[in-house]
Amino acid sequence: MKVKVQRFCLNLSCQDLRSQFCLQCTANPTKDNNCKKDLKGFGQIQSFGTKFNQHKCELTNEVNKYFGQVKIKYENFQNNCRT
């Protein structure tokens, strides 16, 4: 019987050679408790990716806004130095 992968461990210090887990793995009492806390389903992982991309876009917009402000101040400074 082939067992479906249900979750992935997102714990960076996980010592398990396989990051994918089936429901039997999550019920295994010998499984590391840290791994059990960090087991995430596909929907949760997809949500993390979506939130990360949104946050990245927000940060990019913020950096671009500050860069634009610095550029204007630099150009004003340059114009003042020429006069």
Mean of pLDDT over the chain: 77
Residue in the structure block whose two tokens are 């500050």? 66
Rounded to whole angstroms, how far apart are CA atoms 26 and 11?
Answer: 14
Mean pLDDT confidence for 28-45: 68
Phi, psi of 29 (to 5 degrees): -70, -20
Q: What is the pLDDT of residue 43?
A: 82
Tokens representing residue 78 in the block: 């340059």
pLDDT exceeds cutoff 90 at 24: no
Share of residues in the chain with pLDDT > 90 (%): 34
For strand 7-9 and strand 39-41, is the pairing parallel, antiparallel, or unpaired? antiparallel
pLDDT in tens, 50-74: 999 999 999 999 999 999 999 999 9
